[in-house]
Structure 1
Amino acid sequence: MAQEEAQKSADVVVVSAEKPMTDDKEVTVPAPVPEKEVTPPVASDEKVAAEAEAEKAAPVKEEETVVAEKVVVPTPEELEKKALEEFKELVREALNKREFTAPPPPPVKEEKPEEKKSAEESKEEDKTDEKKEEEKQEEAVKTEEKPSEPAAAPAETKPEEKEAVPVTTEKATGGEEDGTKTVEAIEESIVSVTPQESAAEETTVVAEAEPVEPEEVSIYGVPLLQDERSDVILLKFLRARDFKVKEALTMLKNTVQWRKENKIDELIEAEAGEEASEFEKMVFAHGVDKEGHVVIYSSYGEFQNKELFSDKEKLNKFLNWRIQLQEKCVRALDFSSPDAKSSFVFVSDFRNAPGLGKRALWQFIRRAVKQFEDNYPEFATRELFINVPWWYIPYYKTFGSIITSPKTRSKMVLAGPSKSADTIFKYISPEQVPVKYGGLSKDIPSTNGDTVTEAIVKPAAKYTIELPASEACTLSWELRVLGADVSYGAQFEPTTEGSYVVIVSKNRKIGLTDEPVITDSFKVGEPGKIVITIDNQTSKKKKVLYRFKTQPKSDI
């Protein structure tokens, strides 16, 4: 066997070798061989060309992606603008759907337990009746199905009748009345459905036919989506919710609802009550800070007045008055552009503030602060807490995250009694600070542009201030030493030689109980200067604030 297989393979080899020898003349004849050899290079050329084109196109795509990555990164201004446009669209849709003035959902009627039980029992009875009817129908069908072929005829009846038809035609068990009842029930169900559908169609047609006009909503006296002032207000709600548009819309709707419930537009026009004069000692607006924001001062020590805050009714009167003041101050702001000063600086004085033992009072204060945060968002550019007692600082560090929001805490500055004046002067010029809080401003803040100069008197040292007068005039000045307990004196020294020194004010001690602001003046008849001397014999440095102005003799 092995030899035969070897011979066969040899024969095959010989045949394959002999074919080219016998077909020498026909080697060039067969066309398929060169066609097969020619066609692959064509395909390869096309592939090469396609690959070349792909390589050329590849770097272009990379460049495009790089450029796209550079463009995708938006600036904060662009993000703010985009969020504002989305917010405005949502507000516009809400106005078109009248969602701001939509009536509240009707109260759910609480059914009495007896009524609920009767309704449930009636439902259960209906279900049992239906089950009985179905069982009777099934029994009737079974009795009729015993003759197999004749039952096929009624099966071709209309689909509306279904299984109820054989029940009415034949009844072996004597249940004809039940069968007729089922047919009537089916007919009643069919009839009861059709008028509901037609009524629904009519209601939909009526709803579509009546055009709904968009509502007009104003907040802080500014109509929404009417001009640029609206954009400034909407941005406040966006910032309060970290530019989350849907949350900002919810906040805006809640604010509009709160204003309607509390009748803010009517409250602003209401006359002040008898307690208004006392309330104005607690909270008042006075001057501006160094950036031009209106400053509102609050004194928490006045809450110790039992006559004003003896019960909840009086506390609510104060809260209404405080909201009225806030609304008036807000409406006086400039919302014409985002660069305008449309927020406040709040200064809260904790001197003689009630202790933590008065929980009801502090709960009222927290509730009031929460209302202002929710309904007047982003109207506080900074909050200064001065004369803060020692017990409040650890309390704030422990419970501050619960009382106020993180955004509000970032704007708060706390200062004890010894650092209060310096903290205020860091943000508000002394000429704009009331005398009560260490400044030189009295009932009406200065508007004549007289700037206040600050100076430091070292411990156990004297400090002199020179006020020049180049011509005959009246020279007047105001001076204050923070902390007092110093000596003060002033004299006029003429520039001409041989003239006498004039004592304007003898040296005198200034105590804590004396008038904090020293106001003085002198009529100058010749060129010279006023020299003021401050003698500090204590071991602590003192801060001096002063300003002066000259009035020519011709104007006197």
Structure 2
Amino acid sequence: MSPATTPLPAPVAAPASKGGKRSLMSSLMDATALLRSSSFKEDSYVAAALPASELRALADLKALVATHPDPISIWGVPLNPHSPPPGAANDDADERADVVLLKFLRARDFRARDAHAMLLRCAAWRAEFGADAVVDEELGFKELEGVVAYMHGWDRDGHPVCYNAYGVFKDRAMYERAFGDGDRLARFLRWRVQVMERGVRALTLRPRGVNAIIQVTDLRDMPKRELRAASNQILSLFQDNYPEMVARKVFINVPWYFSVLFSMVSPFLTERTKSKFVIAREGNVAETLYKFIRPELVPVQYGGLSRAGELENGPPKPASEFTIKGGEKVFLEIDGIEAGATITWDLVVGGWDLEYGAEYVPAADGSYTLCVEKARTVPATTADADAGPLHNAFTAREAGRMVLSIDNSGSRKRKVAAYRYFVRKPSA
């Protein structure tokens, strides 16, 4: 028996109250406005869209690579005529090779010889490191999977998303298990490359395909000094061997001092680099991530609806998004519920700190409204609230509608929210 759903209703909202004075944090975030530039445009890999100078550089690099007597292959893409892909058409092989070569060219400002040297170093490193086989290795970091660095879902444009959160290493015992000596650090770096390789395998590496990932880095509780050696080595590895693999970098839970740091380094960054950066302060995570990632694909710990392991069964049911202004009370009505049907719903509000309740209103005159969830205050995002969205189910004894109430009248802050529901009709 498959679930049946009714159309998602539009929220009914009350008027919003006016906002208050701007905080110091808001002022500091304005100093980094350039780093959240809306002018971001992902690089094209379509030959017809490239200027003549870049096409010449690409031809020069292809000529340099073709001089090598031995096959060169990076990320499973053969780059010279000596290594055609098994069973693939030459045009397809050439297009994929062009995408990879353009990544190295962009990393070296289209200087063909410099890009060629970088490419050879990358190929040598991959052979020595065993990068092609690392995806299938068991490296002993089960407790870090889905916590520290992991691929999870995709953004609104189809880019795979990699999440990074190193706050767990503020625990000294956890830190020692990962970085306690040189061998452990080397194994951790290998594990981090493994995560990156999984992200690369999710790319098409074709001119009109998805050719880069989105990177989300959580700065909450990150022990900066202790992780300096590891973070420097990770950054160096990725810069040298995964050029142009990140389409956008989103920093979340950014403390005020990082905001000041970003504003200080901003003049030294290229406009192209700055256009890839997005910065979200603490308490503004869900609103920022929803701009790029649908809420049913955002992990629950960041204000989304996606639980660990959920995506293994295929794409999730889409959620409806809405905003709640300061001073508003929103009612979500789910109509057309039959007698005997069971309705299940998930609801999440970025930042919470408002009241929520649910009631069932029968369609028949004279029937009593049933309180399904008594109105209660849901606290702001804390360790307790990080457990995930509100989830409940109700079986109707008579036809009617479910009404969810979200009351933000006690706050002046606008909040993003999302919900989804399933209605399972009664069996015959």
Into which bin does the TM-score normalised by the smaller protein fall? Answer: 0.7 to 0.9
User: 1:280, CA displacement in angstroms?
Assistant: 4.2
Distance, in Å, in 1 between the alignment partners of 2:59 and 2:332 is 57
Which of 347, 352, 365 is matched with 1:484 structurally? Answer: 352
1:285 counterpart = 2:151: yes
The CA deviation string for residues 396-422 of structure 1, in whole angstroms up to 9 with x for no partner, is: 3335678x8775443111221132221
Question: Which amino acid in 1 is paired with 2:113?
Answer: K
Distance, in Å, in 2 between the alignment partners of 1:76 and 1:251 is 22
Distance, in Å, in 2 between the alignment partners of 1:257 and 1:409 is 31
SS in structure 1 at match of 2:262: helix
Q: Equivalences for 1:153-232 in 2 at 5 Å?
A: 214-225=69-80, 226=84, 227=93, 228-232=95-99
Query: Corresponding residue for 1:248?
Result: 115
Question: Which amino acid in 2 is paired with 1:491?
Answer: E
Flag the 1:75–1:499 CA change in 2: closer, same or farther, 3 A. Answer: closer
More helix by share: 1
Which of 288, 304, 309 is matched with 2:175 structurally? Answer: 309
Which of 332, 337, 342 is matched with 1:474 structurally? Answer: 342
Which of 58, 62, 66 is matched with 1:84 structurally? Answer: 58
SS in structure 1 at match of 2:376: strand
Question: Which amino acid in 2 is paired with 1:389?
Answer: P
Query: Corresponding residue for 1:136?
Result: none
User: 1:518, CA displacement in angstroms?
Assistant: 0.9
The CA deviation string for residues 143-175 of structure 1, in whole angstroms up to 9 with x for no partner, is: xxxxxxxxxxxxxxxxxxxxxxxxxxxxxxxxx
The CA deviation string for residues 435-482 of structure 1, in whole angstroms up to 9 with x for no partner, is: 0111111112472442232230433x4321111125443222111222
Distance, in Å, in 2 between the alignment partners of 1:406 and 1:83 is 22
Flag the 1:304–1:316 CA change in 2: closer, same or farther, 3 A. Answer: farther
Flag the 1:448–1:280 CA change in 2: closer, same or farther, 3 A. Answer: closer
Query: Corresponding residue for 1:454?
Result: 322
User: 1:239, CA displacement in angstroms?
Assistant: 1.9
Which of 222, 230, 235 is matched with 1:353 structurally? Answer: 222
SS in structure 1 at match of 2:208: coil
User: Does 494-503 or 381-390 show the bigger shift?
Assistant: 494-503
Which of 324, 328, 345 is matched with 2:194 structurally? Answer: 324
Distance, in Å, in 1 between the alignment partners of 2:323 and 2:265 is 39
1:428 counterpart = 2:293: yes
More strand by share: 2
SS in structure 2 at match of 1:354: coil
1:414 counterpart = 2:272: no
Distance, in Å, in 2 between the alignment partners of 1:332 and 1:422 is 26
Distance, in Å, in 2 between the alignment partners of 1:510 and 1:354 is 30
The runs of 4+ residues in structure 1 deviating greater than 6 Å are none
Question: Which amino acid in 1 is paired with 2:77?
Answer: V
Which of structures 1 and 2 has the larger relative contact order (alpha carbons within 8 angstroms, sep 6+)? 2
The CA deviation string for residues 344-382 of structure 1, in whole angstroms up to 9 with x for no partner, is: 000000001124xx2x63243123112201200111000
Flag the 1:476–1:266 CA change in 2: closer, same or farther, 3 A. Answer: closer
Query: Corresponding residue for 2:207?
Result: 338
User: 1:312, CA displacement in angstroms?
Assistant: 4.2
Question: Which amino acid in 2 is paired with 1:90?
Answer: L
1:544 counterpart = 2:413: no
SS in structure 2 at match of 1:378: coil
Distance, in Å, in 2 between the alignment partners of 1:406 and 1:270 is 39
User: 1:434, CA displacement in angstroms?
Assistant: 0.4
SS in structure 2 at match of 1:468: strand
Flag the 1:237–1:431 CA change in 2: closer, same or farther, 3 A. Answer: same
Mapped contact 1:481–1:516 kept (Cα < 8 A): no
Mapped contact 1:333–1:341 kept (Cα < 8 A): yes
Which of 372, 378, 395 is matched with 2:238 structurally? Answer: 372
Distance, in Å, in 2 between the alignment partners of 1:75 and 1:264 is 32
Distance, in Å, in 1 between the alignment partners of 2:400 and 2:144 is 47
Question: Which amino acid in 2 is paired with 1:518?
Answer: L
User: 1:234, CA displacement in angstroms?
Assistant: 1.3
Flag the 1:554–1:233 CA change in 2: closer, same or farther, 3 A. Answer: farther
The CA deviation string for residues 471-513 of structure 1, in whole angstroms up to 9 with x for no partner, is: 4432221112222332221111123323332222222232343
Mapped contact 2:284–2:351 kept (Cα < 8 A): no
Mapped contact 1:222–1:230 kept (Cα < 8 A): yes
Q: Percent identity between the aligned chains?
A: 36
Mapped contact 1:222–1:229 kept (Cα < 8 A): yes
Mapped contact 1:279–1:318 kept (Cα < 8 A): no
Q: Equivalences for 1:61-100 in 2 at 5 Å?
A: 76=50, 78-93=52-67, 95=68
- Matched residue pairs, number? 356
Question: Which amino acid in 2 is paired with 1:482?
Answer: G
SS in structure 2 at match of 1:436: helix
Mapped contact 2:287–2:350 kept (Cα < 8 A): no
Which of 345, 364, 367 is matched with 1:499 structurally? Answer: 367
Distance, in Å, in 1 between the alignment partners of 2:187 and 2:247 is 27
The CA deviation string for residues 210-238 of structure 1, in whole angstroms up to 9 with x for no partner, is: xxxx3112211222233132222112112
Distance, in Å, in 1 between the alignment partners of 2:194 and 2:135 is 5
The higher radius of gyration belongs to 1
The CA deviation string for residues 248-282 of structure 1, in whole angstroms up to 9 with x for no partner, is: 11111111122233232343443222x33235421
User: Does 300-309 or 346-355 show the bigger shift?
Assistant: 300-309
Which of 323, 332, 338 is matched with 1:465 structurally? Answer: 332
Distance, in Å, in 2 between the alignment partners of 1:401 and 1:318 is 34
List runs of 5+ in structure 2 lacking aligned partners. Answer: 1-47, 85-92
The CA deviation string for residues 72-101 of structure 1, in whole angstroms up to 9 with x for no partner, is: xx96355444432332121101x2xxxxxx
Question: Which amino acid in 2 is paired with 1:296?
Answer: C
Query: Corresponding residue for 2:9?
Result: none
Distance, in Å, in 1 between the alignment partners of 2:408 and 2:129 is 55
Flag the 1:229–1:423 CA change in 2: closer, same or farther, 3 A. Answer: same
